[in-house]
Structure 1
C-alpha cells in the first residue's frame, strides 16, 4: 500500500465540545483535531483534518481515497454521523485504509460496526491518575516507549469492555480507583489495520503529552504499512484452463 510514500493521514473530530464548552476550548482552543495535527506534524506525515459539520462530514470519496490512515475522535454526536458515510469508511478500511479509534470513539458507529459488539464499558469522569503499562513491548506501536507512563488527569474507563478479543493487546491501563482497562488493542478487518487507543478526554491536555503523540505516530506507521497480496474473489478459472497450464 505505502512503499516509500509518506503516510497520508486524515484526522476526524466532531469539533462540538470545543465550540460549546469553555472548559474544553481552554484546553483545545483550535479543536482536538488541530492539536493532534500540530503534535503529529514533526513526524513528517501528510495531514488533513475533517469535522462533523462539514459537508459529508469532510469524508468525501475523494478524501477517503486519498487517505492511508484515518484518526477518529467522537463523543457526544455519534448518532449524527450519516450511515452512508459510516459505510463508506468501512469499505475503505476493508480495502486497506488504517483506522485509529481514539478515546470515546469506542462508541462511534464505525467502530461498533467493525467490531460487531456494543463496545460498551464502565466510566468515571474525575481527576484521576492513569498508568499505562506496555504489555507487548516488541510491538511497533510501542517503539521508543518506557515500560509504563502516567497521565496525572484522565477519565476512567473500566472493564468489562465489550469488544472482541484483541488480535494484539499492546497496553493496559490502571487507575487510582483500582480499575484496569485494555487500552491499546489491534484488529484486522479485510486489508485494514485498526488500533483502539483509550486516553484523550476532552477536558484534559492528554493529546499534548509526548508519549501519547508518539503512540499515535507509531500506530499511523503500523496501520499504513505495506499489505500482503490483495485477495481475489468471484468465479475462478475453469478447471480445464488450470489443467492446460500444467
Structure 2
C-alpha cells in the first residue's frame, strides 16, 4: 500500500515532537468522534454472525438495496481489481492514488484521464473509476452524467466504480439508489463522516451477485455486533 496519511506516532518519534503538539491534516477522518452508545459486554464475547443487523441499518442509512460491509473501503479498493481479468481502467485524475496503484498491481492497464477526456475514452474502457466528490479537488460530477457513463459501460459488461467516501454531507447527490444495477459499484467510508476510525468500516454498494463474489474473495464471515450497535446512532 502507498503511504497516504496517519502514522503520527512515527512522525512524533522521528522529529521529537509530542503527538499532542501536532495538527494532523494527513487523513480524511472526521476529527469529531460520534458519541458512542453503551455497548453490551456480549458484543465483545462472541464471534460475528451474518444476521447481526448491521447490513439492514446500513441499507436504511444509505438508501441502498444491497451492500457488503468491509474492513474499511481500502479493503474493497485492493480486492475489486482481482474480480476482473486484464482490462483497461480509466481513472479521473488527479485523485486518491490508491485506486490506480491497486489496479496496476493486478496487471490492468490504467489510463489517467481529465474530466474532459472521459467521453472520448469511454468506448475503450472496461472500467471507469472516479471519486465523487473528488479527493483532493472537491469536484463533484452531476448524477445524470454519471448515469449516462454507467449505461454505456454496463451495455458491454463494464463497470462504473464511484468512491463516495466524502458524500455523507451531500447524500442527495449519491448514486446509492442506483447501486444495485449491474455494472454500478459504489464505495462508502464510515470514518470520513462519523470518525470512530478504529472500527475500520466501509461498505460496497453493488448488485448482489458481485457482492457475493467479493465476499468470497475477502473471506467475509459476518459483521461485528459492536459495529451494529454503534451504527444504530447514525
Scaled by the length of structure 1, the TM-score of the pair is: 0.38
More relative contact order, 1 or 2 (CA 8 Å, 6+ apart)? 2
More strand by proportion, 1 or 2? Answer: 1
Scaled by the length of structure 2, the TM-score of the pair is: 0.39
